[in-house]
Structure 1
């Protein structure tokens, strides 16, 4: 295993931190506006992260495998 492989793998694992930071920073999305299809921003922002997190997990899985 080369050094570049390890560095790229460690870089992709950083992608796993993005959803935690995005969802733990509550003052950023603690608001009603803008609403989307009647859902306040607070709810649809969190629901948006479900598929985004799944996609990030897939990318990390494929890069490590």
Structure 2
């Protein structure tokens, strides 16, 4: 079998890596909950819970919303760039031995 296109380190003709979308920047927002000195206080309380504890619950919901938005906005983007370069012979399982 002869090959007409050079293949990269992963076997594909084109190097595919991580995709970047501007929507992915929204995933930084939930990481703000890790900066605890910003909200390390007791007042205001909510239903008897100090601020530090109830704001952690709020950040969980903010994180879920951010991930859901990024998922829905980027799910229709193609996974690879360019056409698939595998031929019928490359997909044949009998020749894999």
What range is the shorter-chain TM-score in? 0.7 to 0.9
Unmatched tracts of structure 2, length 5 or more: 1-19, 76-97
Stretches of 4+ aligned residues off by more than 3 angstroms: none
RMSD: 1.2
Q: TM-score under structure 1 normalisation?
A: 0.78
When the two structures are aligned, how many residues end up with a matched partner?
56
Structure with the bigger RCO (C-alpha within 8 Å, sep 6+) is 1
Which segment is superposed worse, 23-32 or 9-18? 9-18
Q: How far is 1:32 from its partner?
A: 0.5
Measured after TM superposition, the shift of residue 27 of structure 1 is 0.9
- Any unmatched runs of 5+ in structure 1? 1-8
Larger Rg: 2
Larger helix proportion of the pair: 1
